[in-house]
């Protein structure tokens, strides 16, 4: 039942990746973390590195999901490449540093960083003006210096926690005047350089001397990533008719509600 379950959660991730710009990381990390702890004895090599495996597998899943969602948004005409190009190089560079740091952090610390990241993101989006409602002036692109300044930490945190960075890029785009449709569309091509850079680090940098078992490339669980990618493809196919049909206010509220759900899952997981 493990891989069919991963496929179902991959389907959910596909829907939210296409419509909200996140899903691969926010679904994969809590799910894989919980499954790994459930299937392996406490203190075993896999249990000790459960969060790293979850984050690394999430990064590989996001290569597929972000690329497919980018292609669908391009076909729908919702992408603004002038907003993507300034940020993408800095995000990729930051992701390499974040993934490298993730190799050496304790799994429990990674979990609490993930929870703190979600909580601060929710509070910032809910309490600070500029997310729930935006003006009609349209999105304003970042300059090169500003893009580097914000892109490096976005890439580093996203790769460290396996979440794609959409929880930072979507609010950033909202506060620069983007509609939810444009902001969530931008999250996918901006997640792709992070996913590629992080996957290379997690796959090629040697895992600890402990044997993590068959089916893993470095910290990446290849079978889990494949099962979730298959589900994500189906989820995006099912969600495609909804592109552009959600009102801006409903889209923003649903985005925050999904973040809150993932926060609850991560708080409960591992207790």
Q: Output phi, psi for 217, to 5 deg.
A: -105, 105
Residue 208 has pLDDT above 70, yes or no: no
The per-residue pLDDT for range 63-82, each reduced to its tens digit, is: 888 898 888 888 888 788 88
Percent residues over pLDDT 90 in the chain: 1
> What is the reported pLDDT for 234?
92
What burial class does residue 95 get, using C-beta atoms within 10 Å of its C-beta: 0-12 exposed, 13-18 middle, 19+ buried?
buried
Enclosing H/E stretch for 269:
none
- Minimal CA–CA distance to 20: which of 193, 261, 227? 261
Tokens in use for 78?
């919702």
Q: Please state the separation of Cα 52 from the chain's center in Å.
A: 14
Cα-based angle 112, 118, 123 (whole degrees, multiple of 5): 125
Confidence of residue 1 (pLDDT cuts 50, 70, 90): low
What pLDDT, in 10s, does the model give residues 215-263? 788 888 888 889 989 998 999 889 888 877 778 888 888 888 888 887 8
Residue-level length of the chain: 271
Interval 211-216 mean pLDDT: 74
CB 156 within 8 A of CB 94: yes
Buried b (16+ CB within 10 A) or exposed e, 242-259: ebeebeeeebbeebbebb
Q: How confident is the model at residue 207 (pLDDT cuts 50, 70, 90)?
A: low
Whether the CB-CB separation of 212 and 219 falls below 8 Å is answered with yes
d(CA 164, CA 14): 14
Q: What is the end-to-end Cα distance of the chain in Å, rounded?
A: 24
Residue 100 confidence (pLDDT) above 80: yes
Predicted model pTM: 0.80
Mean pLDDT of 18-25: 76
């Amino acid at each position: 039942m493990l891989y069919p379950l991963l496929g179902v959660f991959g389907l959910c991730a596909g829907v939210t990746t296409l419509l909200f710009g996140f899903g691969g990381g926010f679904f994969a990390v809590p799910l894989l973390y919980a499954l790994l702890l459930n299937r392996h004895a406490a203190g075993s090599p896999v249990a000790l590195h459960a969060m790293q495996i979850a984050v690394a597998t999430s990064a590989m899943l996001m290569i597929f999901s972000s690329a497919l969602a980018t292609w669908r948004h391009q076909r729908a005409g919702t992408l603004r490449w002038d907003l993507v190009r300034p940020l993408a190089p800095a995000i990729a560079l930051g992701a390499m540093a974040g993934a490298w740091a993730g190799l050496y952090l304790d799994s429990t610390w990674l979990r609490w960083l993930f929870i703190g990241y979600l909580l601060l993101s929710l509070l910032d989006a809910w309490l600070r003006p500029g997310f729930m409602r935006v003006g009609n002036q349209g999105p304003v692109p970042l300059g090169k210096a500003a893009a580097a300044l914000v892109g490096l930490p976005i890439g580093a945190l996203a790769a460290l926690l396996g979440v794609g960075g959409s929880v930072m890029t979507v609010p950033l785009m909202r506060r620069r005047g983007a509609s939810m449709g444009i902001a969530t569309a931008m999250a996918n091509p901006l997640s792709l350089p992070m996913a590629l850079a992080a996957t290379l680090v997690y796959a090629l940098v040697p895992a600890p001397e402990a044997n993590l078992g068959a089916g893993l490339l470095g910290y990446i669980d290849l079978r889990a990533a494949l099962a979730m990618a298959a589900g994500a493809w189906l989820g995006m196919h099912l969600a495609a008719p909804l592109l552009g049909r959600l009102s801006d206010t409903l889209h923003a509220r649903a985005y925050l509600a999904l973040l809150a759900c993932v926060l609850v899952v991560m708080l409960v997981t591992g207790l």
